[in-house]
Structures are given as C-alpha cells and as structure tokens.
Structure 1
Amino acid sequence: MLGPEWLNDRVWHIGFNRLAEVNEQLVRGREDIYFGFEFDINALKKLPDYAVRYYIRTLAAHRDALRGSFNFYRALDTTLAQNVERQKAGLLTMPILAIGGAASVGEGVGETMNTVAHNVQSLVIPDCGHWVAEEAPEEMLAALTTFLAPDRDRG
C-alpha cells in the first residue's frame, strides 16, 4: 500500500475509486480537479486541453456518468472472480492486440493477455504513457489498422 511518491501519484486512485460513495461526494462539482490530475499524472505527453475538457465535461454532465466511472473499479472483485471462471474454460482463441505505453505498463499488457489467450500480438508504443489513444493517436491507428486488416479484407 505504501510505495515511492511517483508510484503513489499514479495508482492511489484505484483504491479511492472503489469506495462506496464518499468518492462521488468529494469529486462531484470538482471533476476538473480530480480528473485533470489523473489525466495529467499518468501521461508522458500532456493530453490536448480540448480532449481533457471533453472527458471532464462528459463525466460532470450527469451523476450516472461519474458513478459509472467509479463503478468500473467497484466491480473489480466481481470481474476478477469472473476472469478466474473464464480461464477454467481455456484460453481465448481469437486474435488479441495488446497495446501498452512504454512509460506506463509497457510489456505488462501483452504479458497479461498471454496468460488468457493463444493468439496475442503485443505492441509497446515508445514515448507514451497510460493514455495511448490520446498520446499516440497515429501509432494507435496504425496498429489497429494493421491488426484489423485481415478481417476488413475478408469483408
């Protein structure tokens, strides 16, 4: 639970987001402070202001949007139990593209997916943090285009 400051700054939100309701009470009306920090601290390259404003505006627009963003974390116990049950059925057979930012979890995405799937293609995007689509949109689009090409070409 205790780690170096740089790590704490990047992962403290996981426990906070799982709280039953006080997190919503603390964040509601202050979404710009909370999510602004999260978007900033986990990025290697600063995200465009228009993108951050859009995400924050969306999360602040309706109380269910904020609640839903926290519910993803609140459901982790259930999700983990479901994943254990799914793994008992065997590894996934469909192709998987695992993308990680080098300044974030990097190879960890591919390593994790290799534990649950047979056909994993892994890509680590250099000079990129947690927000891969926002920090490296061209690289992300190129990876997705290449990965999906066989299906597109089959019609």
Structure 2
Amino acid sequence: MLFALAALLLTVPAVAQVEPFPRSFHTEMIDTNGVKLHVRVGGTGPAVVLLHGYGETGDMWAPLAADLARDHRVIVPDLRGMGLSSRPAGGYDKKTQGVDIAGMLDVLKVEKTDLITHDIGNMVGYAFAAQYPQRVTKFVLMDAPVPGVGPWEEILKNPLLWHFRFGGPDMERLVAGRERIYLDRFWNEFSADPKKFSEASRVHYAKLYAQKGAMHAGFAQFAAFDQDAIDNKVFLEKGKLTMPVLAIGGAKSFGSTMATVMKFAATNVEEGVIPDSGHWLMEEQPAATVRMVRSFLDKK
C-alpha cells in the first residue's frame, strides 16, 4: 500500500497537488539506522542529494530534480518522521539523521555526492557533512540557520521563530485537526508573497502532516535543537568544512545572513541571494533558484 501511495504522489497531475517529479523517477523504501526512508531516485551521472525542511517533504524539490536529472543521479528522501518515511519514537537529533543519510547512500552504493538542503534539511545536511566530509563534494544550503553555529542565539530571539520553542503536553492536541491552520502561519508569514505558495501545495502538505504521528515527529525535529547545538559545537571543534559551500537566502528572509552563518562553519563559502523571495525559495522563485544552484554545481 505504501508503494502504491508513493507512486500516486509521483504521477498525479500538478493541478491536483504539488508539481510531480518526472515519470523517469522511481521510489524506494530504504531501511537504514532504525528508520525506513521514502526516497525518490532518477537520472544518471554524479550523485546529488536534496534534503527538504519543515512544512514540506521531498516533493518540494520537483523543479530542481527535473533539471538536475539531465546529468546527475538525483536522490530525494523524506526525512525521518516526515512525508512517507517511517516515524520512529526517537532519533530526531540531526546527528542521528546525518547517519540516516549516510546509510541511505550506502544502500544506493553512492560514495560521494553533492548536497542541496533547505530549512531543517540544512541542519541534517550539516550534520551529515560534518560527520562524513569526504562524502560531500559541494554543499548548497538554503534559508535557515544551523543550531549552535554563528549567530544562533541571536536568531532565536526573532519572534517569527516562536515555533522553535512551541512545546508542552498540549501542543499536539491543540493542532490535531487544525494542521492546515498551523502550517498556513509558516507558508504565509515566511513568504514575500503568500500567493506564491499555491493552494494545491497547501492542501497536499497539510494532508501529509495530518497523518497519524506526523505532527509529533515534526515537533520532535524542533525539540532536538538544543541537542543539535551541542553536537554541532563538537563538530566545529574538529574544524570547518572545506568543500565548496553556497549559502542561499531569500532577499526578504535570511538573505546574506545565510553566508554569515556558514562562514563560521566552512572555509569556502559563496553567498547567494534570491530577489523577491522569502523563505520558500522553490515555491516563490523556482527558476531563479534552479539557475543559481545549477551554476554553482556546474562550476569547475
């Protein structure tokens, strides 16, 4: 049944949901590190892994995946607990999820990969790159901070990030049946223009986050931030990342702050800013974002 649902998500027309992945992609359920990851795979060539963030799933990457599949093997998982991946009781610290990604690549027999990440995907991606730096050739991070890195404590003071500390025994009961209302806050408040985050996408993601245990797993991603900050400081003590890094921010969101953050964690950082975009780069300015990523990956 899970495979049938996964296939449906890849083939239903865009008018019914988010933009579909090319039909040449297939899906796999990959067992690794105590979790089953739902993974989309397509294209041939050097590997590239795309990691999504909160409020979305790997489905967000369809436009970029279609472009990169022309000359890359594109690998797009749903993170632990999110989308169609399984929801284990624990392991939502990003260090553990970095091991998830390494195990997924082992199953796919991929030794080295480019890495493209957004939002919580940045945090998982950094934990993966810090633990397995020899496996990451280039690293693109989009519009979200990394716990414990650079101005993390100052960033936490931003009232728009109230959800980082949203918790307590009633949080799931408050949101149950109101997932769309909760998620609309992020899609609206973090957009330069909320209309760019389409109604079809909102319906699609709200249904996925309304699945049993999905909001619990999502909250667990945020609850792990304190541990993530501790783990990341240990990674930093061992040295900065040395692979080429592109830090992209939406002009009306993190902007150049993304590069500021990553210069604390990497030695070779290029800054990128997408005009007329908030946080949701792939929804608000997909063409400009694809062009910037493609230019960086193609650079010798």
TM-score (norm 1): 0.84
Over the aligned positions, Cα root-mean-square deviation in angstroms equals 1.5
Unaligned regions of 5+ residues in structure 2, if any?
Answer: 1-157
Partners of 1:78 and 1:126 lie apart in 2 by 34
Q: Are residue 38 (structure 1) and residue 186 (structure 2) matched? A: yes
CA deviations on 1:8-30 (whole Å, 9 max, x unpaired) are 3x2222211xx144211111110
Correspondence for 2:96: none
Q: Are the equivalent residues in 2 in contact too, given 1:100–1:109 (CA < 8 A)?
A: yes
* Aligned residue identity for 1:36: D
Which one has a larger percent strand, Structure 1 or Structure 2?
2
Give aligned pairs, total.
141
Correspondence for 2:99: none
Correspondence for 1:3: none
Correspondence for 2:283: 134
State which of 224, 227, 241 in structure 2 corresponds to 1:92: 241
Q: Are the equivalent residues in 2 in contact too, given 1:20–1:74 (CA < 8 A)?
A: no
Displacement over 6 Å in runs of 4+? none
Correspondence for 2:270: 121
The percent identity for this pair of structures is 33
Q: Secondary structure at the match of 1:61?
A: coil
How many angstroms does 1:49 deviate by?
Answer: 1.0
Structure-to-structure mapping, 1:43-62, within 5 angstroms:
43-46=191-194, 47-62=197-212
Correspondence for 1:13: 163
CA deviations on 1:108-145 (whole Å, 9 max, x unpaired) are 11100011001111111111111112111111111111
The higher relative CO (CA closer than 8 Å, separation ≥ 6) is in: 1
Unaligned regions of 5+ residues in structure 1, if any?
Answer: 1-6
Q: Are the equivalent residues in 2 in contact too, given 1:92–1:117 (CA < 8 A)?
A: yes
Partners of 1:12 and 1:80 lie apart in 2 by 18
Partners of 2:296 and 2:169 lie apart in 1 by 40
Correspondence for 1:105: 254
TM-score (norm 2): 0.45
